[in-house]
Chain A
Amino acid sequence: KQEVTQIPAALSVPEGENLVLNCSFTDSAIYNLQWFRQDPGKGLTSLLLIQSSQREQTSGRLNASLDKSSGRSTLYIAASQPGDSATYLCAVNSGNTPLVFGKGTRLSVIA
């Protein structure tokens, strides 16, 4: 059974810092890995999707990498802003199976 772990559970940084969020999964036979953002009381916003054949994806200040063989992904956020404060969720699936989520990293960026 696939399990997804995210470290750290919470992170507080001053504005402007670069930061890395970590995600690991137990079964490397994944099809996709997806990073989401969730604001308090809200739904999920898809940030980046990495297919199993890809090593990384970039969108603006966000860069996600995937090392499928070691079961790891990182989300790099450059020049963090207070508006980046949210919970970041990592999720993986295999083919047509539903996503399996980690518990998330709660990020606070302090102005």
Chain B
Amino acid sequence: SAVISQKPSRDICQRGTSLTIQCQVDSQVTMMFWYRQQPGQSLTLIATANQGSEATYESGFVIDKFPISRPNLTFSTLTVSNMSPEDSSIYLCSVGGAGQPQHFGDGTRLSIL
């Protein structure tokens, strides 16, 4: 199974600032997904990132707030922009699908003061 590394593992940020989360996979993958898990809640998909095209965002998430890059088949970044306390969550990167198990990184635990 794919090994997924996320950086940073956790951060504490000031409101109004931005943070970029990195996701590195040890093999080439077509689709990468970014999820958010708010405290005490399950996972909500933010967007699907395909290499060479614009990310596809789910309802309630917009590119200006969560810009995503996918420069190659093993790497992606998610930026959380102009952060507010409501953005305090765990952000998770995932790969897989189409009949194969979906695997997740360890996540980035983000707290906004």
Contacts and interface: CB of A to CB of B under 8 A. Distances in A.
Contacts, number: 55
A32 B109 CA distance: 28
Nearest to A44: B104
B62 interface: no
Given A93-B97, A96-B31, A43 B42 contact: no
A64 interface: no
A44 B92 contact: yes
A32 B105 CA distance: 20
A101 interface: yes
A98 B101 contact: no
Interface of B: 1, 6, 31, 33, 41-43, 45, 48, 90, 92, 94, 97-107, 109
Contacts of B103: 46
B42 A104 contact: yes
A44 B31 CA distance: 18
A89 B42 contact: yes
A41 B109 contact: yes
A32 B48 CA distance: 18
A101 B42 contact: yes
A46 B104 CA distance: 8
Given A98-B45, A101-B43, A46 B98 contact: no
